[in-house]
Amino acid sequence: MVIWGKKEIGKDRDSVLTDYGKKKLLTYADSFQELAESLVVTYDGVGGNRQEILERKRNSQKQEVICKNMTEVSKILTDMASEVFRARPLSERQYKKIVQLLRGERLQVTDLFYLYDTEEAESEGRLTLGVRMRTDKAGGIRTREVSDMLSVILDERLIPAPTADYLVEREEKYFFFVKEPVFMVMPGYAKAIREGERMSGDNYSLIESVDGKLTVLLSDGMGSGEKAARDSEKVLDLMEKMIEAGYNIPTAMGLVNSALEACEEENMSTLDVCSMDLYSGMCRFLKAGAATTFLKSNAYVEKIIMNTLPLGILQENGSEGIERELIENDYIIMVTDGVTDALAMSGYEDMLCSYLGDLSERNPEVIASKVLQFALRHSNGRITDDMTVVVLGIFRAR
Write the pLDDT tens digit of every residue in 145-155: 999 999 998 88
Query: Are the CB atoms for 176 and 130 separated by under 8 Å?
Result: yes
104-112, long-range: CB < 8 A, 24+ apart: 105/141, 105/149, 106/135, 106/136, 106/137, 106/141, 107/133, 107/134, 107/135, 107/141, 107/146, 107/168, 108/133, 108/134, 108/135, 108/136, 108/172, 109/133, 110/172, 111/2, 111/174
Most confident of 46-55, 80-89, 115-124, 349-358: 349-358
Domain boundary among 144, 179, 214: 179
**Residue 31 and residue 149 in one domain:** no
Domain boundary among 179, 201, 216: 179
Grade residue 356 by pLDDT with cuts at 50, 70 and 90: very high
Residue 339 lies in a domain: yes
**Residue 256 and residue 309 in one domain:** yes
Q: What is the pLDDT of residues 159-217, one digit of tens each?
A: 998 878 999 999 999 999 998 999 999 999 999 999 999 999 999 999 988 778 999 99
Question: Which range (18-27, 169-178, 277-286) has the least confidence?
Answer: 18-27
Domain boundary among 38, 53, 82: 82
Query: pLDDT: is 380 or 390 the higher one?
Result: 390
Residue 104 lies in a domain: yes
CA separation for the pair 107, 96 (Å, rounded): 13
Model pLDDT, residue 15 = 45
Residue 376 lies in a domain: yes
What does the DSSP assignment read for 338-374?
Answer: HHHHHHGGG-HHHHHHHHHHH-----HHHHHHHHHHH
Q: DSSP class of residue 321?
A: -
Q: What is the pLDDT of residues 368-382, one digit of tens each?
A: 999 999 999 988 888
Grade residue 341 by pLDDT with cuts at 50, 70 and 90: confident
Query: Are the CB atoms for 293 and 333 separated by under 8 Å?
Result: yes
What does the DSSP assignment read for 237-298?
Answer: HHHHHHHHHT--HHHHHHHHHHHHHH-SS----EEEEEEEETTT-EEEEEEESPPPEEEEET
C-alpha distances out from residue 272 to 263, 278, 346, Å: 21, 19, 23
Query: pLDDT: is 224 or 45 the higher one?
Result: 224
**Residue 162 and residue 205 in one domain:** no
Model pLDDT, residue 218 = 97
**Residue 69 and residue 119 in one domain:** no
**Residue 225 and residue 144 in one domain:** no
Q: DSSP class of residue 67?
A: H
Most confident of 59-68, 88-97, 180-189: 180-189
Residue 9 lies in a domain: no
**Residue 284 and residue 392 in one domain:** yes
Residue 336 lies in a domain: yes
Q: What is the 3-state secondary structure (H, E, C) of 376-395?
A: HHHCCCCCCCCEEEEEEEEE
Query: pLDDT: is 195 or 81 the higher one?
Result: 195
Range 363-373 burial, b when 16+ CB lie within 10 A, else e: ebeebbbbbbe
**Residue 75 and residue 22 in one domain:** yes
Mean pLDDT of the chain: 83
Model pLDDT, residue 185 = 96
Q: Compute and round to an integer the Cα radius of gyration of the chain.
A: 25
Q: DSSP class of residue 176?
A: E
**Residue 62 and residue 92 in one domain:** no
Domain count, the chain: 3
Model pLDDT, residue 127 = 75
Which range of residues forms the domain containing residue 189? 183-396
Residue 11 clears pLDDT 60, i.e. is over it: no
The proportion of the chain whose per-residue pLDDT surpasses 70, expressed as a percent, equals 80
Residue 317 lies in a domain: yes
Question: Which range (14-23, 200-209, 246-255) has the least confidence?
Answer: 14-23
Helix (H) or strand (E) holding 111: strand 107-116
Query: Are the CB atoms for 210 and 178 separated by under 8 Å?
Result: yes
**Residue 29 and residue 168 in one domain:** no
Residue 6 clears pLDDT 50, i.e. is over it: no
Residue 351 lies in a domain: yes
Model pLDDT, residue 244 = 80
Which pairing describes strands 330-335 and 128-135: parallel, antiparallel, or unpaired? Answer: unpaired
Question: Which range (1-15, 55-69, 315-329, 377-391) has the least confidence?
Answer: 1-15
Q: DSSP class of residue 149?
A: H
CA separation for the pair 115, 5 (Å, rounded): 13
Model pLDDT, residue 43 = 53
**Residue 150 and residue 234 in one domain:** no
CATH number at residue 216: 3.60.40.10
What is the distance between the terminal CA atoms of the chain, rounded to a whole angstrom?
Answer: 35
Residue 373 lies in a domain: yes
pTM for the model: 0.79
The residues pairing with 108 across neighbouring beta strands, listed in sequence order, are 134
**Residue 113 and residue 164 in one domain:** yes
**Residue 192 and residue 257 in one domain:** yes
Angle between helices 225-245 and 249-262 (to 10 degrees): 140
Residue 23 clears pLDDT 90, i.e. is over it: no
Model pLDDT, residue 7 = 40
Model pLDDT, residue 25 = 73
CA separation for the pair 335, 355 (Å, rounded): 14
| Half-sphere exposure of residue 154: CA atoms within 13 angstroms, side-chain side | 27
